[in-house]
Structure 1
Amino acid sequence: MTETRVVDSDDEREDALAVRHAVFVEEQGVDENLEYDEHDADAVHVVAYDGCEPVGAARLRELEDGAGKVERVAVLEPRRGEGIGQELMAVLEKRARADGFDELKLHSQTHAAEFYAELEYERYGKVFEEAGIPHVRMRKKL
């Protein structure tokens, strides 16, 4: 059983970054200079733990239009399909509501768009490339 929580220490933040590194940099080949950015310092990070082991991570930040943006949703490959992604999203959505956001936006890799659609996110716009990977824009009213 996993526990998903908002990061409140440097160690937990490092756990989030480690999950992202494993998924995006090592598995998907995203350049480290693209994966880690200026938003990491101010974003709300969440981590899913199985005991002491971090197995999933994501972040939330505010956009200029007042909406929240979900980013860097990652679950370690051997743990996919266990509901960890849904847990991460539930914690982020709860935090977004508490922070006063009435809408969340995200850029989904095209292969993951169905996952977000099942969580009531809707696609808008055309497919575009981000970090060399096809993405689609999605949003959800909270």
Structure 2
Amino acid sequence: MEIRRVDSDAELEDALSVRRTVFINEQGVPEHRELDGMDAEATHFVAYDDDEPIGTARLRRYDGDDRSTAKIERVAVIEARRAEGIGRDLMCAVERAAREIGYEKLVLHAQVPVVSFYTELGYKTVGEEFEDAGIPHREMTKVLR
């Protein structure tokens, strides 16, 4: 298994394929919500087993005035490959890239059932639970050191 930072249209399509499988087909997120028009401004990552895309995540500057903060989004691993450490490896790659870019803080919106996964990676919950695309979420943050 390897994590690649996306640098081609084919790799971006692999990331979108994983997202369609997990978020649209499995979780019922409407396609217009999942494919939100923000992909062009993000840095994408894909986890591959040989040449099969099995996970993805994206990183982009967080909306707002604070240029030192980035948002991690669209973290997904195909169902058959969960609990193998792929999500952890993706998050490590994203955090490493965020540090290289110069971000000091990360924000993400975690689906409530996986809050503990992010907590184990050092993220802290902020604020109250909220709903996004019909799915309960919690905002979480991490200061990069």
TM-score, with normalisation over the residues of structure 1? 0.98
C-alpha distance after superposition, 1:10-57 (max 9, x if no partner): 000000000000000000000000001121111000000000000000
What is the aligned residue count? 141
Take 1:30 and 1:37, find their aligned partners in 2: how far apart are those partners?
11
Identity of aligned residues (%): 55
The partner residue of 1:101 within 96, 103, 115 is 103
- The residue number in structure 2 matching 1:26 is 25
In structure 2, the residue corresponding to 1:41 is in which secondary structure? helix
The within-5 A match list for 1:29-68 is: 29-63=28-62, 64=64, 65-66=66-67, 67-68=69-70
RMSD, matched Cα:
0.5
1:12 aligns with 2:14: no
2:126 paired residue among 124, 132, 137: 124
Match of 1:30, SS state, is: coil
Match of 1:114, SS state, is helix
Q: Distance in 1 between matches of 2:76 and 2:133?
A: 15
What residue is the counterpart of 1:69 in the other structure?
Answer: 71
**AA matched with 2:77:** V
Q: What are the superposed Cα offsets for residues 92-136 of structure 1, whole Å, 9 maximum, x if unpaired?
A: 001000111000000000001000000000001000000110000
Q: Which runs of 5+ in 1 are unaligned?
A: none
**Which AA in structure 2 matches 1:37?**
D
Distance 1:106 1:130 in 2: 13
TM-score between the two structures when normalised by the length of structure 2: 0.96
- What amino acid is the match of 2:42? A
